[in-house]
Amino acid sequence: MTIDRLLEGLRQRDPRAIGRAISLVENGDESAEIILSSLDENLVSRATILGITGPPGAGKSTLTNEIIAKLRHQEERIGIIAIDPSSPISGGAILGDRIRMMQHATDKDVVMRSMATRGRLGGLCATAGAAVRIMASCGCSTIIIETVGVGQSEMDIIRLADITLLVMAPGLGDEIQAMKAGLLEVADILVVNKADCKGADILAMDLEAVTRKGSATPTQVCMTVATEGKGVTELLDRIDKLDSEHRDSGERQKRRRGAHNQEVLDWCLEILRPQLLDKIIKRKLSVLGDPRLKAKKILEEK
């Protein structure tokens, strides 16, 4: 596909062009710059970016599937970026989030993309951010980023979101697990999924207790049974309410700016990494001595 045809395809919101464009950005292709500067910034700034995170098996994909169904009812065009880990050994990945969302596979207004972390320290934030922009520019008014919230890079991605949901389920560990993970701090809304299962009420109480401490505005807890679609309407109402509060208070803008800075930093590192590695290799450094000092020296030289 030539770049002109690709740009035309993006204007037409052609799924093939959207898929291709995201790949090119993800693969660090030179055409990424042309693609990303051709986007409709207006649509990008209007879209709502929803982050959905939580431990494996909590029901994130199933909940996402239900959210899509409800939003499609309101005729919204939706983008989904589902992130799964790459194997640090082989570099491969199984991207399995689609399994729970196949009912929307042939819906032209549901644009979905699975993304592997590819073991990059930062880069993922830059690529996921670019995918968000491409989807928003192609008319997606809500974009969902779904990720297992464990590693640092996943946490960084969640910063791209305007509103973040943390999905938990009973039976995945006690409230100490939640405190450990550090996830509670990034979440705007806590969701206890599988609310029909034993221990859901206790989990909700525990979460409320953990988040209430020292905070004037305790994080809200929502109960859902994603497999049956229960509680999802109420959840969406809360998201809407919070989103408009954030828009009014300037919180949304603040977060967008933070996310943007993070993305720029990510791109800086992406660009610098190979250059620096090249410099380091050329120096044929001895294995003795302080690596930190050597790093400083390399950075200081013009």
Partner 1 sequence: MTEKIKKNRVLVGKPGLDGHDRGAKFIAQALRDAGFEVVYTGIRRSPEEIAAAAVQEDVDAVGLSSLSGAHMRLFPAVVEALAKAGAPDIPVLGGGVIPEEDIVELKAAGIVEIFTPGTPIDTIISAYRDACEKKSTG
Helix segments in 12-82, DSSP class H: 15-26, 32-37, 41-46, 60-73
Cβ proximity of 98 and 105 under 8 Å: yes
Q: Give yes or no for residue 2 binding partner 1 (CB under 8 A).
A: no
Contact call for residue 12 and partner 1 (CB under 8 A): no
Interface residue with partner 1 among 90, 215, 217, 286 (CB under 8 A) is 90
* Residue with the two structure tokens 């649509």: 43
| Minimum distance from residue 37 beta carbon to partner 1 (Å) | 15
Figure out which of the listed residues 86, 137, 164, 193 binds partner 1, where binding follows CB under 8 A. 86
Long-range contacts of 20-26 (CB under 8 A, 24+ apart): 21/134, 22/113, 22/130, 22/131, 22/134, 25/127, 25/130, 25/131, 25/134, 26/115, 26/127, 26/130, 26/131
Token pair, residue 8, equals: 């035309």
Residue span 164-193 as binding mask against partner 1, x where in contact by CB under 8 A, dash where not: ------------------------------
Cβ–Cβ under 8 Å, residues 45 and 162: no
- Least separation in angstroms between CB 107 and partner 1: 9
Phi, psi of 46 (to 5 degrees): -80, -30
Q: Applying CB under 8 A, does 35 fall inside the site for partner 1?
A: no
Q: Is 294 in the site for partner 1 (CB under 8 A)?
A: no
In angstroms, what is the minimal distance from the CB of 139 to partner 1? Answer: 15
Q: Please identify which residue in 3, 7, 13, 14 interacts with partner 1, judged by CB under 8 A.
A: 14
Task: Tell me, by CB under 8 A, how many residues bind partner 1.
Answer: 40
- Identity of the residue numbered 149: G
Distance CA 208, CA 220 (A): 8
Query: Site residues for partner 1, window 188-247 (CB under 8 A)?
Result: none
Residue corresponding to tokens 């030539």: 2
Q: Does 102 bind partner 1 (CB under 8 A)?
A: yes
Residues forming the site for partner 1 (CB under 8 A) = 14-16, 18-20, 22-23, 26-30, 32, 86-87, 90-96, 98-99, 102, 105-106, 111-114, 116, 118, 267, 270-271, 273-275
